[in-house]
Amino acid sequence: MISIAWLFVKSAFSRIIPFLLEHWRIILIGLMCFYAYSQKVAHERAVQELATYKQQIAESVAKQAHENEIKRIKAESAIKSTQLEHDKQIEVIKNEYSKINKLSNLTIADLRNKLRQSISDTFDLPKVDTDTERTPVEWSDSYRAITAQYEILKQACTISTSDYNALRGWADAACLQVGCE
C-alpha cells in the first residue's frame, strides 16, 4: 500500500517539477494575481466592516442623544415642579408670618433677614431661677419670651427645611440626568 502511494507521488512530482521549471514565469504571475485579488477582497471586507462599525457608532450616538434629551426634559420638569412647590411653601410661610406679626408688603428676602436678625440678636434663653419666689407676672413674661423665640426659630427652620428640600430635589434631578456615585 505504501509502495503504491510512493509510486503515485513519485510519478506526480516527476511530471509537476518539469512543468514548474518550464512555466515558472506564468505561474509566478498567476500567484501574484491571486495574491493581489485576495488582498483586494480582504481590503473590501475591511472597508465594509469599517462602514458597518461607523454606522453602529452613529446609531448609538443618536440613541444616546435621544436618551439624554429625554433625561434632560424629565430633569427640567422635576426641577420646575420642585421650584413651584418650594415657592408655594415659602409663600405660605410668608403669609403666616405676615398674619402673626401684622405686616404687609413683606418679601421673602425681608422675612429671611428679619428671622436671621431675630435669631442672632436676642436668642438667649431667659434665666430661670431655681427658686419659686418669682411672681406669676415674671413667669408669664419669661414664658412669653421663650414662646416668641420658639416661634421665630420654628419659622426659620421651616424656611431652611423648604430650601433644603428644594435643593435636594434639584440634586436628585441632576443625579437622574447625569448619574451619581
Average pLDDT of the chain is 82
Whether pLDDT at 23 is above 60 = yes
**DSSP codes, 120-160:** HHS--PPP--SSS-S-HHHHHHHHHHHHHHHHHHHHHHHHH
Average pLDDT score over residue span 33-58: 96
Cα–Cα distance, 2 to 22 (Å, whole number): 30
- The SS3 of residue 124 is coil
DSSP string covering 67-111: HHHHHHHHHHHHHHHHHHHHHHHHHHHHHHHHHHHT--S--HHHH
pLDDT digits 0-9 by tens, 105-118: 777 777 777 777 77
Mean pLDDT within 26-30: 92
pLDDT band at 132 (very low <50, low <70, confident <90, very high): low
pLDDT in tens, 153-180: 888 888 888 889 888 888 888 887 777 7
**pLDDT attached to residue 66:** 94
Cβ contact 170:82 at 8 Å:
yes
| Dist CA 58 CA 137 (whole Å) | 81
